[in-house]
Structure 1
Amino acid sequence: MTTALARGAAAMMTTLALATAAPALADSGEPLYNLVDAAAQRLQTADPVAANKWLTGGPITDPARVKVVLDAVSKDAESRGVATPYATDAFTNQISATEGIEYARFAGWKFDPVSAPTTAPDLSASRSIIDGLNHQMVEQMSVQWPLLNSPGCRPALDAAKNVVADQRQFDDLYRTALDVATRSYCPAG
């Protein structure tokens, strides 16, 4: 890959960072669509975050940040009538999925250093997007709480994941990450 291509890849990452806050192409009739789409948008922050960590030498895992996020979503969940353990499990899975994408990006850049980013958005910008998406996700968990705890959850979740993954043109890595991020959404089935 030439230097021009590497710069193009970095520019694409910056564009992706800005695009992650955008909703998918079209809302669907799937009841869990908004929750799953927010989770997907949150996954899409992994690329600009990984680029920042690559360039700054920051670690992929950040236990202090994880604690801040889990404390905030637990408090938000409790205020909205969502069980705190449910929210903690869901966001622990979300964080694991995001870290998985970051590890995959690091591996790719180690194998092909020329493809590594040369610029990245500031980490605080990505974290601001993440915090907003976390709030949206907890809000949607509250709105969909009866469905999330019903036998109808699994088919509704699968349908929403398919629509969102197709609309966002997720590759295999992102589809797997979406499965991991949402795996505890349906505790009843």
Structure 2
Amino acid sequence: MIVRLAAERVLTADTVAAAKWGTPQPIDAPAREKTVLDHAAAKAAELGIDQAAVQRIFKDQIAANKDVQRALYAQWQKHPAQQPAGRPDLATQVRPVLDRVDGQLLTAIHRAQPLLDRPECQALLKRGKAAAVQAMGLDAIHRSGLDRALARICPNR
């Protein structure tokens, strides 16, 4: 479940990038990132999840999303025909999706927490990534993003 949600979050980078493309709005949004991390930490405390682990995981989710946005920008600059045709609204169309996925990801982390510290975490993660890549048809940009998003899920790597 964590892998599928991380992949879904990585895929939202396309919409985020499309919303920011051609505007002065930068890919890096420190204030928004802080809000996401603070909310995740508060929710982790409510759920009884290790807050440091949640911060680590969500920092990786944010970094992965930005990596994908940067890769898409580079692709769009090189191939203008692939540039987004429309500009979704960050506040009304993009953030609600990210907020939903983030909430589901916190629940999934809570449920998986005992497994994350076990030796088989890495093998399970590898199988989950392979399944998500195939099921969701992730290209190289998004596979790389997923790798980054899941980089520190298993703390005993």
Structure 1 residue 156, shift from structure 2 partner = 0.8
How many pairs were matched up?
156
1:136 match? 104
Does residue 1:48 correspond to 2:15, yes or no? yes
List runs of 5+ in structure 2 lacking aligned partners.
none
Q: Is the 8 A contact 1:55 1:117 kept in 2?
A: no
Structure 1 residue 79, shift from structure 2 partner = 1.2
State how far apart, in whole Å, the 1-side matches of 2:60 and 2:41 are: 14
State how far apart, in whole Å, the 2-side matches of 1:50 and 1:78 are: 31
Structure 1 residue 70, shift from structure 2 partner = 0.1
2:28 match? 61
Cα deviations across residues 22-45 of structure 1 (Å, max 9, x unaligned)?
A: xxxxxxxxxxxx111111111111
Looking at secondary structure, tell me which structure has more helix per residue: 2
State how far apart, in whole Å, the 2-side matches of 1:71 and 1:92 are: 11
Q: Secondary structure at the match of 2:21?
A: helix
**Which contiguous aligned blocks of 4+ residues in structure 1 show a shift greater than 3 angstroms?**
none
State how far apart, in whole Å, the 1-side matches of 2:82 and 2:119 are: 45
Letter in structure 1 aligned against 2:31 = A
Letter in structure 2 aligned against 1:112 = H
Q: Is the 8 A contact 1:55 1:118 kept in 2?
A: no
Larger relative contact order, structure 1 or 2 (CA cutoff 8 Å, min sep 6): 2
Letter in structure 1 aligned against 2:94 = S
1:13 match? none
Does residue 1:74 correspond to 2:22, yes or no? no
1:95 match? 62
State how far apart, in whole Å, the 1-side matches of 2:109 and 2:56 are: 13
Q: Secondary structure at the match of 1:69?
A: helix
Letter in structure 2 aligned against 1:49 = V
2:82 match? 115
Q: Secondary structure at the match of 2:119?
A: coil
Does residue 1:38 correspond to 2:13, yes or no? no
Q: Is the 8 A contact 1:46 1:98 kept in 2?
A: yes
Structure 1 residue 61, shift from structure 2 partner = 0.4
Matched residues, percent identical? 34
Please give the root-mean-square deviation of Cα atoms over the aligned residues, in Å: 1.1
State how far apart, in whole Å, the 2-side matches of 1:112 and 1:166 are: 26
1:164 match? 132
Give TM-score, length-normalised by structure 1: 0.79
Larger Rg: 1
Give TM-score, length-normalised by structure 2: 0.95
